[in-house]
Chain A
């Protein structure tokens, strides 16, 4: 069975540019979450989407946005890139939005480097 897939695996951008990262959840999973992992730290929650609606948002600026499509895939957009946005961006999917008994399954992430 295919796990969570993310594209691209690596990306290099310059300051001020915009980037779109993509995620395909495990088949049957309706919830997608996005996390940012800066080198040496644990992942930080950015967004959660369920049935195409935003269900949670972490402490990130409005430059970060996301959406979920009818097939439950998702995109994360970051505008006006800063050097501090350099990180591993992780996508996770789960059956539903509640935490009980529904672990999240992660992809291997997109490594974004800002020059």
Chain B
């Protein structure tokens, strides 16, 4: 599985967009990029995933660079409830779907 690098922490004002970067320079061609988050005292929550095209759902947008070596998760209007640890996880489509969590980014949304 590809290694990932994420900033340990970020702050964002409520109502502003939160842009969370992830570097996955060793990602292989058949690895999707998945994003999960973990709010305090809860289990991880799936957010979004993509292969090479940008993706958007009701929770967030995912921007993947053309060379696929990095991606950015965008929360368009962050709220206090978005305060969590965000994990970027490459997953090989041809293997079992285990998740290898790194250290993630702790996003703090403030008033």
Contact = CB atoms under 8 A, between A and B. Distances in A.
A84 interface: no
Interface residues of B, number: 25
A25 to B, nearest CB: 13
Interface of A: 4, 31, 33, 35, 41-45, 48, 55-56, 58, 90, 92, 94, 96-109
Given A97-B97, A99-B97, A90 B32 contact: no
Contacts of B85: 42
Contact of A106 (B41, B45, B92, B97): B45
Contacts of B95: 99
Nearest to A107: B43
Given A4-B43, A31-B97, 6 more contacts: A35-B99, A42-B101, A42-B102, A56-B96, A100-B32, A108-B42
B43 A100 contact: no
Contacts, number: 68
B99 A45 contact: yes
Most buried by A among B44, B46, B91, B94: B44
Interface in B80-111: 85, 87, 91-104
A97 B96 contact: yes
Nearest to A46: B98
Contacts of A42: 85, 87, 101-104
B101 A48 contact: no
Given A43-B44, A92-B43, A109-B43, A99 B100 contact: no
A98 B93 contact: yes
Contacts of B94: 98
Given A103-B46, A104-B46, A55 B34 contact: no
B78 to A, nearest CB: 22
B68 interface: no
